A = this chain, B = another copy of it.
């Protein structure tokens, strides 16, 4: 779970220049521009300004200052909506979490006046997101720690081939206030870049991040290090034959790409939205609205959408594994963990890229090139019908589909999360999550299932290698503004009706009964147990036939937590207790696992907020949706996992008077005779 600085890779450089010279106008990365939207991410200049302001107040000569979070302090929603309608200026404040002389400070800074508006000290439970730099430093400690060097020698391993990785420790009921610590595990990079499948198990190392020293060390048992054979994944290090061979593909958009990006604001087809970036949340979709051909104007759909937290509890209770219950957004920073996308491979041709700025421990801006890509996807069907029912007429109408995809990749150590937001002209938004990367492997002295006598808490995916059971729970923050802020959450149950004798030849049928959910408690839903449709509607806006305009959540198969509710990790990840939650909008309720998640005690989660049981009817509401995956590893996941994908759909439901793309024509799609190999 460790991160290093994001360097600009050679392939990226190559493509960068390739594009620069060939197709400047289209694919050169878009750097920080002037403010075009209240949610534009902090620019390089702004981050530098913030650094200056904080260090002016706390000069490093006399203070020890570390920046743990630097982001936009969300303007009040009313002012943002005013900006959307009138362009009226909003505030431009930054929110900073810094550890200054071992105290956690929360600073709010006005970027226009360069003044510190507030400077509070956080005294509650939990610690801020770890910095990349402090992890890097901590991971060097073992190499200067005698007993560790001994342990490596004892195992007959080459210290120069060892690389270490850091893991947050969670919270297991300790009552005294804890120190900021990091568990460290080490791996062999000998003969492979795939360190995660070559753990040096049996050693436990605990480092204090403030004192930056190892405070606990045990060498418990010598386990064999899994072999490197068949673990390498770099093409440059693999021997032929390669295959299967896939045929190459060239594409061309005669009219250029169908979308434009100004700053971070996107317009495409009937959609307008903003792509934000935050070091903790990663990509944030904001102020998404869609053009309604009936009323000749754009109507608001989604004020903000992003992944608020990712909870990954492993399922091995042993001393070396019990604590592995990670919160990738709150502990490691989803945006901080984003990686540069590879043009042509992570994103198809014609993708446009956005850069982002990560913030170093010292408060300095660090460029993350090609952090986000936006591209059009062809190949589907939008709607169709062949009519064979009208004599002497042959009717076939087919509209091929084009969708717009916003993609980023968050790589937290071993796992790569490919995160898509797909926009459809029909009005649907389809977020998708795909998992790749590596399993976390537990080294065991077992080469075959026949040798297994007790629960290994995972699958023997290769010799000496257990792929440990775990879950992935992503929780989306979906702040709908369906045609305005006054929205309600409506649950429509499908219910069997038994028919009374003689009234029909049928004995039964089903019908619907809709309930406007009044409060937070009633909005907590475990999906999959009874058929229902869930929608966010605007009770103040009705269609001509009297249906409330709305959007429906079409979920995928639901996953429910399997830990007991009173277990410590589950208390911290209590936002997974239900698949769906609805809360009244609150500018400060952004992080379902809490603002301070490292060693949090579950006292600032969505589950706690909703105990207030606030009213949610005809209010500005936020829908929270949990996408869960129980992961029982298999051998195909080893040594690197082919994408495993899931997703869901937010679909307009009586939002439009009728199919909004009835009058959309298929794009020209031709096999291009003008294409010549150079």
Contact = CB atoms under 8 A, between A and B. Distances in A.
Given A247-B402, A674-B676, 4 more contacts: A189-B390, A230-B662, A235-B665, A248-B668
Contacts of A665: 235, 242, 245-246
Contacts of A375: 379
A250 B254 contact: yes
A465 to B, nearest CB: 8
Which 9 A-B pairs rank lowest in CB-CB distance, beginning with the nearest?
A248-B668, A449-B546, A250-B672, A247-B258, A317-B504, A252-B675, A426-B642, A246-B667, A510-B562
5 contacts: A193-B390, A249-B252, A252-B671, A533-B632, A674-B675
A518 interface: no
Interface in A569-600: 569-570
B653 A634 contact: yes
Contact of A531 (B547, B630, B658): B630
Interface in A316-357: 316-319, 322-323, 339-340, 342, 344-346, 348-350
Contacts of A671: 22-23, 27, 250-252, 349-350
Contact of A323 (B269, B293, B505): B505
Interface stretch (A47-55, A299-307, A455-463): A455-463
A251 B254 contact: no
Identical subunits present: 2
Interface centre among A173, A438, A658 (most CB of B within 10 A): A658
A529 B459 CA distance: 24
A253 B494 CA distance: 48
B664 A639 contact: no
Which of A455, A498, A505, A651 counts the most B-chain CB atoms under 10 A from its CB? A505
Given A469-B510, A543-B635, A664 B384 contact: no
Contacts of A386: 339-340, 409, 411, 416
Interface stretch (A392-400, A479-487, A613-621): A392-400
Interface in A440-463: 447-450, 455, 457, 459-463
Given A247-B402, A255-B247, A397 B234 contact: yes
A187 to B, nearest CB: 8
Contacts of A349: 669-671
Nearest to A511: B455
B398 A385 contact: no
A411 B425 contact: no
Interface stretch (A2-10, A89-97, A200-208, A280-288): A2-10
A146 interface: no
Given A339-B396, A383-B436, A460-B547, A659 B640 contact: yes
Contacts of A258: 245-247
A108 to B, nearest CB: 31
A141 interface: no
B395 A193 contact: yes
Given A195-B390, A558-B528, A564-B507, A257 B247 contact: yes
A238 interface: yes
Interface residues of A, number: 199
A156 interface: no
Contact of A510 (B23, B241, B563): B563
Nearest to A240: B663
Contact of A384 (B317, B319, B387, B418): B418
A56 interface: no
Contact of A506 (B253, B424, B568, B674): B568
A565 to B, nearest CB: 9
A85 interface: no
* Listed residue (A242, A252, A385, A498) with the most chain B CB atoms within 10 angstroms of its CB: A385
Interface string A619-663: 000000000001010111111111110000001111111111111
B251 A545 contact: no
A250 B670 contact: yes
Nearest to A255: B247
Contacts of A230: 657-658, 662
Contacts of A457: 509, 511
Given A637-B659, A674-B677, A667 B249 contact: yes
Nearest to A668: B248
A409 to B, nearest CB: 7
A636 B317 contact: no
A520 interface: no
Interface string A369-411: 0000001111111111111111101111111111000000101
Contacts of A377: 379
Contacts of A564: 496, 498, 507-508
Contacts of A391: 4, 136, 163
A543 B256 CA distance: 50
A415 B401 CA distance: 18
A6 B388 contact: yes
B436 A385 contact: yes
Contact of A678 (B402, B436, B566, B673): B673
A505 B172 contact: yes
Contact of A241 (B11, B245, B413, B663): B663
A539 interface: no
A41 to B, nearest CB: 21
Contacts of A506: 172, 317, 322, 567-569
